[in-house]
Amino acid sequence: MSAPATPRRVIIDTDPGLDDAVAILYAVACGRFEVLGLTTVAGNIGIEASTSNSLRLLAAMARSDVPVRRGAAQPLRRGGAELTSIHGDDGMGGLTLPPPQAQAQGEAVGWLVEQLQSAPAGSVDILALGPLTNIALLVRDHPDAAARMGRLIVMGGAVDEPGNIGARSEYNFATDPEAAQMVLGAGLDLTVIPLDVTRRVRVLPGQIASLRGSRAGDLCAEIIALYFGTGRESRPLHDPCVMLFAVEPGLFGLDTLSLAVDVSEGPEAGALVRYPDGPPIKVAMRVDGPGAIEALRHGLNAAQRSSC
C-alpha cells in the first residue's frame, strides 16, 4: 500500500447496486477520503431505491452525517434498464440493512454546483459509479462549476473487452450514451475505468472471509456473497476499482486514447469507439488484480486496525 496521505475530498455519484455498495463502504472505511456526500442516479435500480440504499448503507456505517442528494430519475433522452436480475428487486440482493437515519434533501446537480463553487478549484474529486446523467447535467447547465472539479474518475465503457449489456456496450454508458459522450468531450481531468480493467479485479469465494474484521468488511463479505448468486466461480468488482484507482493509482496502467461514444439507436449504443478526432481520454487498461483485492481488504479494515 502507498503511504497514507491527506484524505482527498470526494463526492460519490452512485446507483447502488451491490458493487456500488462495496465501493461506498470502502470509501467511508478506508480513511483515505473525506466523503462530502453522495449523489444518486437511476441505473442499476430506480432513483428511489438508489437513494434509499445510499441512506441505508450510511446508516449501517453510523455515517448518516454524510448527506445524500437525489439526482436524475432517468437518462437524458432514453428509457432506463434496471438490473434486478443481478442486484435484486431492492438493488441490495435482499441484504438486511438498517432503515435510513436521515433523509435525502435537495437536488443533486444544484448541490454539486454549491460544493464545487464553495471549494478551492481542483480540490473536490467526483467518483462516478453509475450512468453519467448527473455529471452531464452539471457540464451542460453549469460549465463554470464543472470546470472547478478536481479529478473525475468514471467506471464505464469497454475498449477491447466485450460489453456486458451488448456485444460492445457496457451498462453505465449504454444506459445514457448521450451523457457519456457529453462528459468525455467536456475537457475535464477525466479517467475512465472500463471493463478491460474491472473484469480483472475478481474476488473468489475463498477470499470472502478474508474481507471480514470490521463493520465495513463484514458487510462487504455479505454483499459479495449475495453478488455471487449461485454457481459462479468469481465475481468482478467493477465500481470499487474507481475508489482503488483514486488512492492506489500505481496498481493500474493508463493509456491515453481518442474515443467517442456510440449514440445511435442501435444495439451498439453506448459502445466506446476509437476515433482519431475524438478527445484524448486517460483510460485504465491494465491492473494488478490480486493487489487490488488486497488493497480493498486493507482499506475495509483500516478503522479496526487504528482502534487496536
Rounded average pLDDT over 275-282: 91
Residue type present at position 18 = L
* Direct distance between the N- and C-terminal alpha carbons of the chain, in angstroms, rounded to an integer: 19
Whether the pLDDT of residue 85 is over 50: the answer is: no
Residue 142: active-site member: no
Whether the pLDDT of residue 111 is over 80: the answer is: yes
Average pLDDT over the chain, rounded to an integer: 91
Which whole-number Å values give the CA distances from 70 to 52, 53, 109, 132, 282, in the listed order?
10, 12, 9, 14, 29
Dist CA 236 CA 242 (whole Å):
13
Write the pLDDT tens digit of every residue in 22-51: 999 999 999 999 999 999 999 878 899 999
β-pair type (272-274, 280-287) = unpaired
Residue 275 region, left (φ>0) first, then alpha (ψ -120 to 50), else beta?
beta
pLDDT at 225: 86
Rounded average pLDDT over 223-243: 83
Whether the pLDDT of residue 74 is over 80: the answer is: yes
Beta strands in the chain (DSSP E): 8-14, 33-40, 68-70, 124-128, 151-155, 189-193, 202-203, 235-236, 252-261, 272-274, 280-287
pLDDT at 90: 61
Q: Is 116 helix (H, G, I), strand (E, B) or coil?
A: helix
Write the pLDDT tens digit of every residue in 194-225: 999 999 999 988 899 999 999 999 999 999 88
pLDDT at 308: 31
Pick 66 or 96 by higher pLDDT: 66
Dist CA 91 CA 1 (whole Å):
31
C-beta of residue 237 within 8 angstroms of C-beta of residue 195: no
Residue 138 pLDDT grade (very low, low, confident, very high; cuts 50, 70, 90): very high
Residue 8 pLDDT grade (very low, low, confident, very high; cuts 50, 70, 90): very high
**Which of the residues 87, 142, 238, 298 is marked catalytic?**
238
Look-up: residue for cell 477491447? 160
Alpha-helix runs per DSSP H in 176-256: 177-184, 195-198, 215-228, 240-247
pTM above 0.75, yes or no: yes
Whether the pLDDT of residue 82 is over 80: the answer is: no
pLDDT at 238: 95
Residue closest to 190 by CA, chosen among 235, 167, 156, 164: 156
pLDDT at 45: 84
Rounded average pLDDT over 157-178: 94
Domains belonging to the chain, first-starting first, are: 8-306 (3.90.245.10)
